[in-house]
Amino acid sequence: MSLAILIVAGLGLTVARLRPPMGGFEVGQFIQVLEAGINDLVLIGAAIFFLGTLEGRIKRRMTSLELGRYLDYCSEMLSLTGKVAALYVQHFDDRVALQAVNEIEDLTTGLSSKIWQKLMILSA
């Protein structure tokens, strides 16, 4: 932010030191000076905007990498949960328990696919 203030201060100092020519401006010269001044203001504004949002973009990029890692771990955890449930009832003959494990596996598979969709969006 201090760099943006320095740029604006330098621009203000430059404008304050400008002196018009002795004979005045002709219309063509005035238009050229006005156009150059507007171009400079637009470019300086773009530079200030870029510098002002730079930190946010850097932090967002770092957060997205951490979020991707977190979502990947969540997907692995869901996969392990489904496998542990299947191993738990492997030798059971209880119909209700087997149905519950099937529902857990369906649930974890669905959640895992939604997480992978989010990972694909995040990586794009």
The most confident of the ranges 19-28, 36-45, 57-66 is 36-45
pLDDT digits (tens, 9 = 90+) for 58-71: 877 777 677 888 88
Residue 73's domain comprises: 2-6+31-123
Distance between CA atoms of 74 and 12, rounded to whole angstroms?
A: 54
Flag whether 11 is in a domain.
no
Q: What pLDDT was estimated at residue 1?
A: 63
Flag whether 74 is in a domain.
yes
Flag whether 49 is in a domain.
yes
Q: What pLDDT was estimated at residue 124?
A: 67
Q: Give the number of domains in the chain.
A: 1
Q: Give the pLDDT band (50/70/90) at residue 11.
A: confident
Does the predicted model carry a pTM greater than 0.75? Answer: no
Name the H helices within 1-124.
2-17, 27-88, 95-123
Per the CB < 8 A criterion, the answer to whether 88 and 101 are in contact is yes
Tell me the CA distances in angstroms from 29 to 14, 17, 33, 84, 122, one per residue in order.
19, 19, 6, 80, 52
Flag whether 22 is in a domain.
no
Does the pLDDT of residue 22 top 80, yes or no? Answer: no
Instruction: Measure the N-to-C terminal CA separation of the chain; round to a whole number of Å.
Output: 30
